[in-house]
Amino acid sequence: MIQIVPAIDIIGGRCVRLSQGDFSRETSYETTPVEMASRFLENGFKSLHVVDLEGAKNGKPANLRSLRELASLGDIKIEWGGGIKTRQDLEAAFEAGASSVVFGTLAVRNPVLFKSFLEEYGPDKITLGADVRGTKVAVGGWMETSDVELSSLISSFLPGLSNVIVTEISRDGMFSGSNPEFFRGLMAGFPGVVFTASGGIGSIPDIEALDNALVPRVIVGKALYEGKIKLEDLALWSRRG
């Protein structure tokens, strides 16, 4: 059964969501990150995917205070990403309460450093976050599309890499559903990697489609904030989240 991981994206300490990674198409919500996380906890979820969008855009963590507040809630695993470029940034994220740290841009632009983090901290603490347009990986908070192919990026960190989050940028925030066949191909090509699908989830059938394709994990964000999916409807999966 697929694991559902609720998402919290943060700018200026506020919960926000973007459409297709476009910062000019930002939707802000009155609910604070802590309030939203508390709702997830109350409904049985134990893991959160949290992105410091401000940090991702500017290349330096900007919302570690929010991370500390989320970690203070107690029994919760936080996978945290956004703007972490140095060992100091990484250590600060762990000290603030991150259970694991997601790297995207750094893995593309400085693969040697990313690999050293992976070797030092282990695959349970270091996750590759690949935001893709087609098969090419985007960097810099999704603002720039690199020439790096997703499959090549994953291959370059094997063996050693075991967790990869793949966000389909064209689908993100659009409620258009994910692409199960895309993830089937990734899982067939990299059987030792645990893939998390992200982008496009807008309904329970969207989740079921990925579940039927045996995708291990899925991130759900904007659909929860805008009532497309209700937390109580996810009770079937929450014990795994």
Return per-residue pLDDT of the chain as tens, 241 residues: 899 999 998 988 888 766 555 554 546 666 899 999 999 999 989 999 999 988 888 888 999 999 999 999 988 999 999 989 999 999 999 999 999 999 988 999 999 999 999 999 999 999 999 988 878 888 765 566 667 889 999 999 999 999 999 988 876 666 777 889 999 999 999 999 999 999 889 999 999 999 999 999 999 988 998 889 998 888 776 655 5
Residue 19's φ and ψ, nearest 5 degrees, are -110, 120
Per the structure, the complete domain to which residue 154 belongs is given by 3-238
Please indicate, yes or no, whether the overall pTM of this predicted structure exceeds 0.85: yes
Task: Catalytic residue, from 9, 52, 89, 211: name it.
Answer: 9
| CA dist 165 → 58, 129, 217, 237 (Å) | 21, 5, 9, 19
Q: What is the CATH number of the domain that holds 224?
A: 3.20.20.70
SS3 165: strand
Catalytic site includes residue 75:
no
SS3 172: coil
Q: By the 8 A CB rule, do 179 and 209 touch?
A: no
Catalytic site includes residue 233:
no
Task: Catalytic residue, from 52, 89, 131, 211: name it.
Answer: 131
Half-sphere exposure (Cβ direction) of 49: Cα atoms closer than 13 Å = 24
Q: Please give the tally of structural domains in the chain.
A: 1
Extract the runs of DSSP E, i.e. beta strands, from 29-162: 47-52, 77-81, 100-103, 126-133, 136-139, 144-149
Strand (E) or helix (H) holding 11: strand 3-11
